[in-house]
Amino acid sequence: MPGKERLQPLQIQQLLPRTNCKECGCSTCFAFAFALISREKRPEDCPDLQTEAFRSSWEILQEAFGGEGVVKEQGLLIEKAKCNGCGDCVVVCQKALITIVVQAQTIKRQDVPAVLRVVDGVVEVVNWSSCKRAMDPPELCRVCEDKCPFDALELVR
């Protein structure tokens, strides 16, 4: 399955007014683009985007960054409206958790608490501290996001 198409910062900047007005709280429109990607800001934080002149940009940015997903402190965006509770992310995450590679050797760990669980038909984070991204130093694991067939999961930080 190919990876999700994501807007890149320069693409986002091209959609923005590029006035660097700072009304959104960012020093530049380019900084605002990164804030959108990390979900620290939302499209409605830019007053100029809400004008008629930027209607098409507004629609594109709302679709990409205006969803109802919630970013937890760990940077995992879960769009509950898209999740159907299939559990694919839970399975691949658990498999990734118990398998670590140290000096070219694969080691299987036992009794690692699950990071994700399907609760009431929707995936939820139940133990973030088990995630490879929460390790010190963190590993940039994205298996849960990559496996989700509905694009309901997104790691943004």
Span 91-149, pLDDT tens digits:
999 888 877 666 666 667 677 888 899 999 999 888 888 888 888 887 888 899 899 99
Query: Percentage of the chain with pLDDT > 70?
Result: 84
| Domain identity same for 62 and 81 | no
| Domain identity same for 86 and 134 | yes
| Domain identity same for 80 and 149 | yes
Rounded Cα distance, 117 and 105, in Å = 29
| Confidence check: pLDDT of 51 > 60 | yes
| Domain identity same for 81 and 38 | no
In terms of DSSP H, where are the helices of the chain?
Answer: 9-15, 29-37, 55-65, 88-98, 143-147
| Domain identity same for 53 and 124 | no
pTM of the model: 0.58
Q: Are 89 and 153 in contact (CB under 8 A)?
A: yes
pLDDT of residue 4: 54
| Domain identity same for 61 and 83 | no
Does any domain span residue 2?
no
Does any domain span residue 112?
yes
| Average pLDDT of the chain to the nearest whole number | 83
Provide the domain limits for residue 16: 9-66
